[in-house]
A and B are shown apart, each in its own frame.
Chain A
Amino acid sequence: QKEVEQDPGPLSVPEGAIVSLNCTYSNSAFQYFMWYRQYSRKGPELLMYTYSSGNKEDGRFTAQVDKSSKYISLFIRDSQPSDSATYLCAMSPKAGGTSYGKLTFGQGTILTVHP
């Protein structure tokens, strides 16, 4: 079983819809959570970064972390065709030992927003 599970989709929504992307994880040591967006043939772009449980909002994006359920979410409001990409969740325990510089990623969810 992978440490981080993410539904690969694909997910197709109409423009303007609210998109919900989710990851579950098994390692209770994870404390730092990130969402990346990756366009085709590009490197991942950091969208959101959160520490421990709670919500964080940035424009149309909201990240939620529920450590008790080992579940994280990314919500995209008023989705646009330009949001069409692969979304990757990533996480890390507190730095040290075998965790220095290492993010553990989900498989990524392919999102298409059609006009």
Chain B
Amino acid sequence: KAGVTQTPRYLIKTRGQQVTLSCSPISGHRSVSWYQQTPGQGLQFLFEYFSETQRNKGNFPGRFSGRQFSNSRSEMNVSTLELGDSALYLCASSEGLPSYEQYFGPGTRLTVT
């Protein structure tokens, strides 16, 4: 089976802009979780989607949002970018039955200037 894919792999944006990141889960996986990874804070949970519904959300401002499509693909959006949003954004998929084993994609490296 193909692994989790994320696009784009690298992004450079300017403060105040918005950005959309995409994630395609492993075939058959219905749950997608998003994480932000920074050197100072490590991996922090953003939100989780299952069957097009957000089931859980972490402690991030409303500028961070996401959605999931009927084919389980997911997108996350960050509006009004701030310098502190520079990070590696990781998407992980699991069967979601529930399933606790999450498989990560390579991430999208976002740099905000």
Contact = CB atoms under 8 A, between A and B. Distances in A.
A98 B47 CA distance: 10
Contact of B100 (A43, A88, A95): A95
Given A43-B107, A100-B48, A101-B31, A106 B101 contact: no
A12 interface: no
A34 B100 contact: yes
A103 B106 contact: no
B104 A43 contact: yes
Contact of B90 (A44, A95, A97, A107): A44
A45 B58 contact: no
B76 to A, nearest CB: 13
A105 interface: yes
Interface string B14-55: 000000000000000001110000000011010111100001
Nearest to A96: B98
A81 to B, nearest CB: 22
A84 interface: no
Interface of B: 4, 6, 31-33, 42-43, 45, 47-50, 55-56, 58, 90, 92, 94, 96, 98, 100-107, 109
Interface of A: 32, 34, 36, 41-46, 49, 88, 90, 92, 95, 97-108
